[in-house]
């Protein structure tokens, strides 16, 4: 549950595919308590990646919480498998789901955290009707599919709109961003209201990934506190 602290969430898509377990353990040792698993089907986005067995395996021997970000054509078919595999959150794209409310309810019945994601071209207004049903909303700050892209500053007003709407709702909902998060963009996203920042290349391809993770969290936290006047939730 959001508590006023910004989380930098390492994206395993940018980790060493031959040593995901080792890279995740290194992130945990650096202080990460949450990592993101991108799930891509080659249709909704032009790339292929991980399945539920990866989450099942990684959850056996670590305490890092995992979100499954489903970038797939029919999330209603795949989402239950990721919940069953042990994902702490299952996030799916509003653009890909004909009945998002029904899928959110089904996931809650499985006891998993729920999230809705939108691509850059989808307005914030489409997420607003679901704020009372989700634990997390995700704004893509690049076109999804591949890591290493540049952050889209045009997404900052969308973040501000959603942060204000979350505050009005009276609920604690994570506002997550994914795409192009680095030393320059992390404070911008946090100052606009994001409190969960998915970072891939900026962490795993740094000379010192642990130090990069901590530096991103520090700068993002300062920016987030500026935007909230120093208020936190306890």
Between the alpha carbon of residue 96 and those of residues 93, 107, 111, 193, the distances in Å are: 5, 16, 22, 25
What is the chain's Cα-based Rg? 16
Q: How many other C-beta atoms are found inside a 10 Å radius of the C-beta of residue 178?
A: 29
Query: Is 38 a known active-site residue?
Result: yes
3-class secondary-structure state, position 78: helix
Annotated active-site residue in 23, 38, 41, 195: 38
Q: How many angstroms separate the CA atoms of 131 and 172, rounded? A: 10
Annotated active-site residue in 41, 67, 178, 195: 178
Q: List, in sequence order, every residue forming a beta bridge with 145; answer none if it has no partner.
A: none
Tokens (6 digits) for 218 = 């520090």
Query: Is 61 a known active-site residue?
Result: no
Q: How many angstroms separate the CA atoms of 6 and 174, rounded? A: 10
Q: List, in sequence order, every residue forming a beta bridge with 95; answer none if it has no partner.
A: none
Tokens (6 digits) for 101 = 């409310």
CB 63 within 8 A of CB 35: no
Which residues have a catalytic role annotated? 38, 178
């Amino acid at each position: 549950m959001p508590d006023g602290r910004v989380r930098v969430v390492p994206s395993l898509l940018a980790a060493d595919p031959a040593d995901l377990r080792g890279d995740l353990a290194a992130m945990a040792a650096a202080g990460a308590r949450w990592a993101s698993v991108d799930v891509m089907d080659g249709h909704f986005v032009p790339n292929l990646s991980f399945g539920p067995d990866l989450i099942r395996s990684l959850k056996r021997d670590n305490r890092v919480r995992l979100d499954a970000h489903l970038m797939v054509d029919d999330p209603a078919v795949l989402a239950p498998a990721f919940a069953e595999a042990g994902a702490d959150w299952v996030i799916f794209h509003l653009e890909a789901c004909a009945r998002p409310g029904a899928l959110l309810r089904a996931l809650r019945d499985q006891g998993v955290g729920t999230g809705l994601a939108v691509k850059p071209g989808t307005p914030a207004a489409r997420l607003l009707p679901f704020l009372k049903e989700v634990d997390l909303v995700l704004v893509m700050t690049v076109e999804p599919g591949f890591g290493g892209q540049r952050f889209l500053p045009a997404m900052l007003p969308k973040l501000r709109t959603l942060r204000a709407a979350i505050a009005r709702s009276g609920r604690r909902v994570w506002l997550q961003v994914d795409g192009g998060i680095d030393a320059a963009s992390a404070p911008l996203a946090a100052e606009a209201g994001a409190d969960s920042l998915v970072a891939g290349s900026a962490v795993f391809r740094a000379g010192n990934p642990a130090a990069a993770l901590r530096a991103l969290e520090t700068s993002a936290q300062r920016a987030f506190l500026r935007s909230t006047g120093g208020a936190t939730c306890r």
